[in-house]
């Protein structure tokens, strides 16, 4: 499914979010500025897609040059990420987020932007993140939410009806943009997600809403 939309993925992300997605990536990267400022830091952007979050981390790091890697299981997405980041030292690996090919305690920071929601098992995904993080390491999961009130009503009309129609028209592929609202609907609410994070063993965990709760950042520390 993701392979089929890779050629128009970036265009549609920016168009359908009215370019607000760029602000979300930058805000998330700034949240972890302290880790990204350390030249020896090991950073993984999980379910990286075409690499927009990975590139935001690289820009935030500036001259610090931590080791930043993007991982995804879609070869077509990684090809586009590699092309976009050709002039950077970013590295890419094709991998399953539920069975990552990294040793225990390897990373200082693990991020995931709009990809964690697609995992078949959220608890297994969190377990892999805590396994590969060093003690004191942090994670950040940026993903969609379900705003409440009038904003939520308008958002759901757009997200469930308008967005799939535009996405299908431009991409030429129906399935993925019908899947998107369904994947958001099945994603745990913030309270449940924070409970899962706590049960896995993270501490200092939190959720910060972005843009009236349309998206939000989950973070925690090992």
> pLDDT digits over 12-66, tens only?
666 666 678 889 999 999 999 999 999 999 999 999 999 999 999 999 999 998 9
Q: If pLDDT is split at 50, 70 and 90, which confidence band does 96 have? A: very high
Q: What residue segments make up the domains of the chain, in order of their start?
A: 2-6+19-148+188-221
pLDDT at 147 over 80: no
The residue length of the chain stands at 222
152: tokens are 């939520």
Tell me which of 15-19, 106-110, 143-147 is least confident.
Answer: 15-19
Global pTM reads: 0.89
Quick check: 117 and 187 in contact, CB under 8 A?
yes
Residue corresponding to tokens 């098992």: 121
Domain 2-6+19-148+188-221, CATH class in plain words: alpha beta
pLDDT at 11 over 90: no
Give the pLDDT score at 180: 72
């Amino acid at each position: 499914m993701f392979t089929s939309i890779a050629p128009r993925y970036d265009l549609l992300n920016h168009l359908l979010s009215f370019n607000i997605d760029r602000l979300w990536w930058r805000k998330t990267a700034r949240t972890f500025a302290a880790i990204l400022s350390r030249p020896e830091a090991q950073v993984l952007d999980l379910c990286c897609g075409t690499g927009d979050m990975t590139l935001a981390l690289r820009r935030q790091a500036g001259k610090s040059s931590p080791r930043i890697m993007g991982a995804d299981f879609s070869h077509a997405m990684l090809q586009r990420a590699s092309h976009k980041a050709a002039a950077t030292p970013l590295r890419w690996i094709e991998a399953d987020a539920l069975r990552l090919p990294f040793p225990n305690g390897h990373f200082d920071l693990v991020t995931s932007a709009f990809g964690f929601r697609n995992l078949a098992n959220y608890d297994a995904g969190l377990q892999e993140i805590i396994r590969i993080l060093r003690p004191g390491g942090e994670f950040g999961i940026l993903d969609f939410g379900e705003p409440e009130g009038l904003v939520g009503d308008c958002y759901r009309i757009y997200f469930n009806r308008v967005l799939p129609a535009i996405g299908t028209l431009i991409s030429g592929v129906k399935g993925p943009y019908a899947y998107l609202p369904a994947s958001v609907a099945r994603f745990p609410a913030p309270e449940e997600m924070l409970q899962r994070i706590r049960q896995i063993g993270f501490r200092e965990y939190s959720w910060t809403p972005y843009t009236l709760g349309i998206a939000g950042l989950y973070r925690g520390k090992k």
